[in-house]
Structure 1
Amino acid sequence: MRLAYQYKLLPSTLQLATMNRWLDMLRHQYNWMLADRFDWWEMNWCPVNACPLICSIAEPREQPEYYGQKRSLVTLKQDRPWYKEIHSQVLQDMVKRVKLAFDRYIKGDCNGKRSGKPRFKSANRYRSFTYPQASIDWIDGNKIELPKIGAVKVVWHRELPQGFEVKSAILSRKADGWYITLSLQDDSVPEQTIDVAPTWDNSIGVDMGLEHFAADSEGELIDYPRFLRQAESKLAKLHRKRDARPKGSIARKKLNQRIARLHQKIARQRHQFHCETANQLLSKADVIFVEDLSVSNMTKRCKPKQDEDGTFLPNGQAAKSGLNKSFADAGISQFVNQILPFKAERAGKRTMKVDPTGTSQHCCVCLNRVPKELSDRWHFCLECKAEMPRDTNSGVLIKKVGLGLASLKKAQRTSVRREARAVA
């Protein structure tokens, strides 16, 4: 079993300067190795097996790979002796990060899904380094002995579990200071296998939204506090103050730090709310059915509209921008894909995703189609006379679809319905 525990560090001034200097040197070497891989790929890779004689041919050289770049660290320390200050395993882990970022771009992950082109890291984007081989012996009272950094004070806000072995340690810089994440492993504890059969009594359906963050099939509506909206006035005030300061000044840097800490507070409030909501839902049932939402598609920009002369027409993007901000503020994707499954697994329960097609446009009682616009928040069926909040109706329908008691495979998607209305 593998766990991760994070604690806040209280480094001294000298230790703080050392860790910041390590980050800067690691970032520069990361960018150089990534550029070396890009250079070889652009100059030597070819999608065909032949080239015309008139094309320019780059001087052939070996392809940069993981072990070759690790061997180059020896030459790096000879040419630039200040890199000897960094722990050797920390440097090697930086090479591994380059390999993983480039492989995800070229080959994809285990599912074949490729990520975007890796970007070169600025000072604000390279924020952590890793000791791949940590040990429980590093811990001594309220301090942890980090190689080549020294004994650093730690805020042990909770005890480490007994019987677990410390495998690695990640030091990360955040808006309010430095943190250490200890990766713990205990081979004697098997990975938990969850095999809970869903029934009507031990399951609930949950509909995610913006007016109500979650609405379950039992009729309970959970509102979202809108942490970002509440802090918008403070953020705007800080941004105005920062923009009035000259670039590069100490006052501007301090205001940037205040803005970062405020954003960090909002993120932590959102995370805390998600954890509490997940525990509240898991206390009701053993199986939770949720919609398989693609939030990235829901927050896309509206397509531009043009008339016959090529003049751009209003396309509703101004209103859509506010909706996109509300989606980002709610953090629906983080809740459905990360926090809720994690909490369910720790509790020995299950989360199951359901196709969301038609769950908001059909009646949960008679399955009759009841068309509704986004502004229509009340469900009323003319066939069976059922009426309830729209989100509650969707929650009940999600539960029925998840249990196989209802099928909406023939339900028309939103784009098809819009086209049909346009034709009519």
Structure 2
Amino acid sequence: MILSYVYKLRPSGSQEAKMQSWLDMLRATYNWCLADRIETYHQQFIQGPYCSLRTKAEAYSLTCCIVKNGATGNLWKNNGKKRNAGTIQDAALVDLKAARPWYKSIDSDVLQRNIARLNTAYKNFFDPSASLRVNGRGFPAFKNRSNFRSFEYKPGRVKLKGSKVYLPKIGWMRFFNSRPIPDGFAIRSVTIRRKTDGWFISVRMVDKSIPELMPRPTSEVKTAVGLDMGLTRLVHCSDGSDIPNPRFATNQKTKRTLSIRQRRVSRTKKGSRKRKKRTAEVAKLHSKISNRRSAYQWQVANKLVKKADAIVVEDLNIQGMVRRCKPKLEEGTGRFLPNGQSAKRGLNRSILDASWGELINKIQYTAEKSGKVLLKVNPRDTSRECSACGHIDKANRNRERFICTRCGHFDHADQQAARNIKRKAVVEYSLTLRLRSASTPSGVEVLKLVTKKVRRDSAKPKQLSLFETPSVELTTSKRRKHDTRKGKRRVPGNLGRQLELFSQDMWNVSSAESPFF
């Protein structure tokens, strides 16, 4: 099993200044190594034997900073084996420290891991399986202060003792030990990362004796719940419940605060100290929004996983949903016509604020950790199909209302979609139904689901006699006294009974009339 814990560091002023200087030097080394590889490729495959196509000068070690046959040095080892670009640049670190003595303050493992980071970027770019994906890895790009904020140590160099951590060449540093490292786990890598609200350490651990998290096989699934992602409500469940959407970034208060802080940034002079201060305020607000959204999604994921053995969601193409509208040109004049992008801009912001993709990833992790499974189905026609008769029509849905044009079935559109999502999973993944047959007076065999009866918390009001005086004690229902914080029945998302595959969808369905059996 592989785990990754993140702790917040508490560095001193000198330690923070040293780590910031490390980031600046490592970023310069990364960019130089990337430029070195690009120049070597141009010289070998484009320029030929010339140092420059404009001057057509021969490439020598004195006239060109790049040696013809390698990235920064000799291409061959002493034993006759060929070296790759990463090995050549690793060997050049000795010359780098001799030419620039201030690089000696950086730990040698950190410098080597920095070059390994560039090797990983090249490997991802040339990965043949990346071309099969929709979003393949691009060519390695040069880094700046905004996207180069971390460095990594090799395993075995970092020591943890209580609430202190030892970082080579930096020293002992305090950190917030929010949770202890489990016994038996060995540290594989340690990454130091600078964020808006401070410095953090990410510890990656592994214990081979513990097996990896495995999802439950579909043959063992007895209950399922369908989830439909929305904006008015974050999640609509097929059992009739829903999860509210707080809109952390698109509510009125946050939008006003963000616009005020961004306006302050625009009024400052570029490159000034005050502009950096105002920019940090905007970054802190974005960080606060992200942290609140992530914490809320973990709570939602834990509530949803408790509902059933299988959680069914749509396989959404979120990147395609937030794509800009295609421009429309007027024939003859070439002017741009209205294409609805200004109206869609607000919708795109709401979708990105809801962060459906991150929520689905958290649900999948929580489900596997709990021994359950996450199933994905095709989202086609889930909002247009009637769950009662199976009729598909675009006119069935009118915003949040669903009215079937064939049978007149009326329901909430998102709740309807959640039930269709669950029903699709039953068909696609061949989930088994626990049903029993019952005979009706008409002689038609009806399929009913096996459900468990649960005692209600409240009883019905007492029926008064003729001469009995009504009072609050007699007419109101008597509820069982219990602590709402300790009672699981009062927690949102916990149901009174365990749902069957179709227990919340169809109670009495005729096998002859239903199109789904």
Q: Kindly tell me: are residues 107 and 196 of structure 1, through their superposed partners in 2, closer, same or farther at Cα, counting changes over 3 Å? A: closer
1:62 aligns with 2:83: no
1:213 alignment partner, SS class: strand
Native 8 Å contact 1:198 1:287 kept in 2: no
Give 1:361 shift: 1.5
1:407-422 matches, cutoff 5 A: none
Q: Kindly tell me: are residues 111 and 158 of structure 1, through their superposed partners in 2, closer, same or farther at Cα, counting changes over 3 Å? A: farther
Give 1:360 shift: 1.4
Alignment match of 2:137 (pick from 103, 108, 115): 115
Q: What's 2:436 paired with?
A: none
Equivalent AA in structure 2 for residue 335 of structure 1: L
Alignment match of 2:172 (pick from 143, 151, 157): 151
Q: What's 1:301 paired with?
A: 324
Native 8 Å contact 1:6 1:180 kept in 2: yes
Alignment match of 1:388 (pick from 408, 411, 414): 411
Alignment match of 2:155 (pick from 127, 133, 143): 133
Cα distance in structure 1, aligned partners of 2:381 and 2:57: 56
Q: What's 1:318 paired with?
A: 342
1:215 alignment partner, SS class: strand
In percent, how many aligned pairs have the same letter? 37
Alignment match of 1:330 (pick from 354, 372, 385): 354
Native 8 Å contact 1:354 1:402 kept in 2: yes
Give 1:115 shift: 1.2
1:160 alignment partner, SS class: coil
Give 1:42 shift: 4.2
Q: Kindly tell me: are residues 374 and 312 of structure 1, through their superposed partners in 2, closer, same or farther at Cα, counting changes over 3 Å? A: farther
Name the stretch that deviates more: 191-200 or 353-362.
191-200
Cα distance in structure 2, aligned partners of 1:296 and 1:5: 29
Give 1:289 shift: 0.9
Cα distance in structure 2, aligned partners of 1:73 and 1:374: 65
Native 8 Å contact 1:43 1:58 kept in 2: no
Native 8 Å contact 2:221 2:310 kept in 1: no
Moved over 6 A (4+): none
Alignment match of 1:402 (pick from 425, 428, 433): 425
Q: What's 1:7 paired with?
A: 7
Name the stretch that deviates more: 71-80 or 17-26.
71-80
Native 8 Å contact 1:207 1:216 kept in 2: yes
1:2-401 matches, cutoff 5 A: 2-45=2-45, 60-62=68-70, 65-108=85-128, 112-113=132-133, 114-134=136-156, 138-197=159-218, 201-230=222-251, 231-309=254-332, 310-336=334-360, 338-372=361-395, 376-401=399-424
Deviations 1:144-175 (A, max 9, x none): 11100000011111222122122211100000
With normalisation by structure 2, the TM-score equals 0.73
Q: Kindly tell me: are residues 200 and 145 of structure 1, through their superposed partners in 2, closer, same or farther at Cα, counting changes over 3 Å? A: closer
Give 1:78 shift: 1.6
Cα distance in structure 1, aligned partners of 2:397 and 2:141: 38
CA RMSD of aligned residues (A): 2.4
Q: Kindly tell me: are residues 67 and 200 of structure 1, through their superposed partners in 2, closer, same or farther at Cα, counting changes over 3 Å? A: closer
Q: Kindly tell me: are residues 373 and 72 of structure 1, through their superposed partners in 2, closer, same or farther at Cα, counting changes over 3 Å? A: farther
2:189 alignment partner, SS class: strand
Give 1:193 shift: 2.3
Give 1:135 shift: 5.5
Give 1:403 shift: 1.2
Equivalent AA in structure 1 for residue 96 of structure 2: L
Deviations 1:253-272 (A, max 9, x none): 11111111110010011111
Give 1:201 shift: 4.6
Larger Rg: 2
With normalisation by structure 1, the TM-score equals 0.88
Native 8 Å contact 2:157 2:168 kept in 1: no
Q: Kindly tell me: are residues 185 and 139 of structure 1, through their superposed partners in 2, closer, same or farther at Cα, counting changes over 3 Å? A: same
Cα distance in structure 1, aligned partners of 2:128 and 2:231: 33
Give 1:396 shift: 0.7
Give 1:282 shift: 0.3
Give 1:278 shift: 0.8
Give 1:118 shift: 2.5
The number of residues matched between the two structures is: 398
Give 1:141 shift: 2.8
Native 8 Å contact 1:341 1:350 kept in 2: yes
Cα distance in structure 2, aligned partners of 1:24 and 1:355: 47
Equivalent AA in structure 1 for residue 348 of structure 2: N
Cα distance in structure 1, aligned partners of 2:91 and 2:316: 45
Native 8 Å contact 2:122 2:140 kept in 1: yes
Give 1:111 shift: 7.6
Higher share in helix = 1
Cα distance in structure 1, aligned partners of 2:234 and 2:189: 37
Give 1:353 shift: 1.0
Deviations 1:168-219 (A, max 9, x none): 1110000011000111111111113223326785111111122221111111
Equivalent AA in structure 1 for residue 200 of structure 2: Y
Give 1:28 shift: 0.6
Name the stretch that deviates more: 260-269 or 338-347.
338-347
2:33 alignment partner, SS class: helix
Native 8 Å contact 2:162 2:177 kept in 1: no
Cα distance in structure 2, aligned partners of 1:183 and 1:167: 6
Structure with larger RCO (C-alpha < 8 A, sep 6+): 1
Native 8 Å contact 1:304 1:315 kept in 2: yes
Give 1:107 shift: 3.0
Give 1:397 shift: 0.7
Cα distance in structure 1, aligned partners of 2:397 and 2:295: 29
Deviations 1:91-140 (A, max 9, x none): 1111111111122223355785431232211112100001121467x122
Q: What's 2:458 paired with?
A: none
Give 1:386 shift: 2.0
Q: Kindly tell me: are residues 42 and 317 of structure 1, through their superposed partners in 2, closer, same or farther at Cα, counting changes over 3 Å? A: farther
Cα distance in structure 1, aligned partners of 2:371 and 2:24: 43
Equivalent AA in structure 2 for residue 122 of structure 1: N
Native 8 Å contact 1:135 1:167 kept in 2: no
Give 1:41 shift: 3.5
